[in-house]
Chains A and B, each alone.
Chain A
Amino acid sequence: MSNNTKLHHNEPLIRLSKKTALPVWKAWAIRLGAFLFAVLFCAVIILILTGSNPIEVYRMMFSGSFGTSRKFWNMLQSLAMLLIVSVAVTPAFKMRFWNIGAEGQVLAGALGTAAVMIYCGGKLPAAVVYPLMVVTAVVCGMIWAVIPAIFKALYNTNETLFTLMMNYVATQLVAYLIVFWEKPKGSNVVGTINNPYGDGDWFPAVFGQKSFISIAVVLAITIAMFVYLKYSKHGYEISVVGESENTARYIGINVKKVILRTMLLSGAICGIAGLLLVAGTSSQTISTATAGGRGFTAIMVSWLAKFNPIEMILTSFILVFFERGAGEISSELSQSFASILTGIVLFCIIGSEFFINYKINFRKRHKEDKGGEAA
Chain B
Amino acid sequence: MNLTRISEFFVQAVMFGVPLLYGAVGEILTEKVGHLNLGIPGIMYVGGISGIIGGYFWETYGNPNNTVMCILCSLLSALAGSALMAFVYAFLTITLRANQNVTGLVLTTFGLGLGSYLGSALAGLLGTDTTISLNATSAAYKKLFWVDIKLFGSVFVSFGFLTLLAIVIAITASFVLQKTRVGLNLRAVGESPATADAAGINVIRYKYAGTVIGGAIAGLGGLYYVMDFIGGSWSNGGFDDRGWLAVALVIFAIWRPKLAIPGSILFGGLYILYSFIPNLPRSSQEIFKVFPYLVTIIVLILTSVRKKKENLPPASLGLPYFREDR
A residues within 8 Å of B by Cβ? 1, 16-18, 49, 98, 100, 151, 155-158, 160-162, 164-166, 168-169, 172-173, 175-176, 179-180, 296-297, 299-300, 303-304, 332-333, 335-340, 342-344, 346-347, 350-351, 353-354, 357-358
The answer to whether A160 and B318 have CB atoms under 8 Å apart is yes
Identify whether the interface residues of A are mostly helix, strand, loop, or mixed: helix
Q: A17-B324, A351-B96 are in contact. List 5 more A-B contacts (CB 8 A).
A: A172-B286, A172-B290, A297-B109, A300-B105, A339-B113
**Cβ of B83 < 8 Å from any Cβ of A?**
no
**Chain B, residue nearest A300 (CB):** B102
Chain B, 277-313, CB within 8 A of any chain A CB: 281-283, 286-287, 289-290, 293-294, 296-297, 300-301, 304-305, 307, 313
What are 15 A-B residue pairs whose CB atoms fall within 8 Å in the complex? A17-B324, A49-B121, A98-B101, A155-B305, A160-B36, A172-B293, A175-B286, A175-B289, A179-B286, A303-B99, A336-B113, A337-B117, A343-B110, A350-B92, A351-B96
B103 CB contact (under 8 Å) in A151, A350, A357: A350
Count of B interface residues, CB-CB < 8 Å: 55
The answer to whether B105 and A336 have CB atoms under 8 Å apart is no
Q: A100-B38, A161-B251 are in contact. Are A168 and B113 (CB under 8 A)?
A: no
The answer to whether B324 and A16 have CB atoms under 8 Å apart is yes
The answer to whether B97 and A354 have CB atoms under 8 Å apart is yes
The answer to whether A336 and B98 have CB atoms under 8 Å apart is no
**Measured between C-beta atoms, what is the minimum distance from A227 to chain B in Å?**
25
Candidate in A169, A304, A333 with the most chain B CB atoms within 10 angstroms: A333
CB-CB < 8 A to B138: which residues of A?
none
CB-CB < 8 A to A173: which residues of B?
290
The complex places the Cα of A23 from the Cα of B56 at a distance, in Å, of 53
The answer to whether A49 and B117 have CB atoms under 8 Å apart is yes
B residues within 8 Å of A by Cβ? 36, 38, 88, 92, 95-99, 101-103, 105-117, 120-121, 200, 236, 244, 247-248, 251, 281-283, 286-287, 289-290, 293-294, 296-297, 300-301, 304-305, 307, 313, 317-318, 322, 324-325
The answer to whether A168 and B293 have CB atoms under 8 Å apart is yes
The complex places the Cα of A336 from the Cα of B234 at a distance, in Å, of 15
**Measured between C-beta atoms, what is the minimum distance from B137 to chain A in Å?**
23
CB-CB < 8 A to A165: which residues of B?
248, 293, 296-297, 300
The complex places the Cα of A343 from the Cα of B108 at a distance, in Å, of 9
A336 CB contact (under 8 Å) in B103, B108, B236, B294: B236
B247 CB contact (under 8 Å) in A161, A347, A351: A161
**Measured between C-beta atoms, what is the minimum distance from B294 to chain A in Å?**
7
The answer to whether A100 and B101 have CB atoms under 8 Å apart is yes
CB-CB < 8 A to A297: which residues of B?
109
The answer to whether A155 and B99 have CB atoms under 8 Å apart is no
CB-CB < 8 A to B113: which residues of A?
335-340, 342-343
Q: A165-B297, A354-B97 are in contact. Are A346 and B116 (CB under 8 A)?
A: no
CB-CB < 8 A to A1: which residues of B?
200
The answer to whether A162 and B300 have CB atoms under 8 Å apart is yes
The 6 closest A-B pairs by CB, nearest first: A339-B113, A343-B110, A336-B116, A354-B96, A172-B290, A157-B304
**Measured between C-beta atoms, what is the minimum distance from B115 to chain A in Å?**
8
CB-CB < 8 A to A304: which residues of B?
102
The answer to whether A166 and B101 have CB atoms under 8 Å apart is no
Candidate in A168, A335, A350 with the most chain B CB atoms within 10 angstroms: A168
The answer to whether B244 and A164 have CB atoms under 8 Å apart is yes
CB-CB < 8 A to A169: which residues of B?
290, 293-294, 297
